[in-house]
Amino acid sequence: MPLFGHVRYYRPGDTFRNRLELAASGVHRPRRAGVCGTQDEGAESIVLADQYEDDFYSEAEIIYAGHGGRDAKTGRQVADQIATPRNLALLKSITTGRPVRVLRKVPAEDGTGEDVYRYEGLYQIIEHEYGPGKSGFQVYTFRLRPVAVGS
């Protein structure tokens, strides 16, 4: 069953050691996919893990590249993206207006040199574009803005 918004007691700034811990917490259930959701309900959560060259993160705004067309070894876009179920889930979130949990792979603060997944908070997908990305292939890009506290 889809769950939109915060999950249990987890809040922005909480970290998770790996994708298994993320899945077990319910904050982002898929162990590999960057999008959790369905084309009928929308996206529940996304992970920014430096996998797509067209992703951009700032505290004020996120540009999230859709799913597909990426070479797993190089990370470069090698084909056009298509309307996969994951991309359709992101598109559905524009019409539903439901919040999306955002997680981001970041260096751990304990000095171990390991990466962790940090919960950045709730965002709303406000628009999308489908056009040439950095490598020239057609890419879905989704613009997300933070949901105001108390919303």
Write out the CATH class of domain 15-146: mainly beta
- Tell me the pLDDT tens digit for each residue of 83-140: 999 999 999 999 999 999 999 999 888 878 899 999 999 999 999 999 999 999 999 9
Closest CA to 37 of 61, 67, 65: 67
First-to-last alpha carbon distance for the chain, in angstroms, is 22
Question: Cα–Cα distance between 151 and 141 in angstroms, integer?
Answer: 25
**Residues whose CB falls within 8 Å of the CB of residue 57, separated by 6 or more in sequence, listed in order:** 48, 104
Cross-strand partners of 146: 123
Please compute, for residue 61, the number of CA atoms within 13 A of its CA located in the half-sphere on the CB side: 7
Higher pLDDT, 149 or 31: 31
Q: Are 16 and 22 in contact (CB under 8 A)?
A: yes
Question: Residue 88 corresponds to which tokens in the numbers above?
Answer: 């359709």
Domain range annotation of the chain = 15-146
What pLDDT score was predicted for residue 6? 92
Structure confidence at residue 149 (pLDDT) = 67
Q: Is the dihedral of CA 142, 65, 41, 25 positive or negative?
A: negative
pLDDT tens figures, 42-92: 999 999 998 899 999 998 999 999 999 999 888 889 999 999 999 999 999
C-alpha 97: how far from chain center: 16
